[in-house]
Amino acid sequence: MTFVATMLELLDAFDDFPQARVLRERTYEGLTGTVVDVGCGSGLAVGELAALGATAIGVDLDTDMIEIAAERWPDCEFHIADVTDLPFEDGSITGYRADKVLHDLPDPEAAVVEAHRVLAEGGRAMLVAQDWDAYMIDSDDPELTRDLVRDRADGVQHPWVARQYRNLLLDNGFTDVTAEVHTIVWTDEAALPMLANIGGRGPWLDEQAARAREDRLFVAVPFILTTGIKGS
């Protein structure tokens, strides 16, 4: 079995995971009217939001991802744009969704400011992401595992940004801000591509693969879901 996967393969595998599907559907709650999904990737959320009756629009800076999204969801609208400079007029959007996006930005707060600009009064912002420094992985070598998780987190521009979502919303004009944690658990080989992304090939990954074969693998990742309403 090959454990190395492209980013698109990793995203598709995650999106197909039942627990991830439940979390994704949770992020759609309260998003109605004209909804923008920033960092939309392959466009899955855009397609699903459209099926729920929203006028869903996808935005991503990656031209390849936008091409894939347009191929997969030909009836939906997609734009190549920076999440800190969205192609929408002030107050023209009623719902805003950012899933696993802000940690890769040089300035996550700039994206929240932009979300506030494009949202209409009473519009809802929905932010969700994993906490990169809180991956829980059972291993015969806890010290190495801790180092690998920390190294992977250090490779992300803002690994703790999900912990900061509540304050970012409160500090930038949002009210009724709520935060909740959803922990996704893997116990089989479906986790191996993600683990390869953390530890690379070698004895550590081999141990995890053996755990998967023996039904002894345990990986848990907390996702923080934060939502707020644009105040007057």
Measured distance between the N- and C-terminal CA atoms of the chain, rounded to whole angstroms = 54
Alpha-carbon gap, residue 178 to 77, rounded angstroms: 29
Q: Which domains does the chain have, with CATH numbers?
A: 7-131+157-183+223-230 (3.40.50.150)
The residue whose two tokens read 């994704």 is 24
Rounded Cα–Cα distance for residues 160 and 110 (Å): 16
For residues 93 and 210, what is the distance between their CA atoms, to the nearest angstrom? 48
User: How much is the mean pLDDT over the chain?
Assistant: 94
Residue-wise pLDDT for 29-41, tens only, equals 999 999 999 999 9
Model confidence over 148-177: pLDDT tens digits? 999 999 999 999 999 999 999 999 999 999
pTM of the model: 0.93
Neighbours of 137 (CB within 10 A): 23
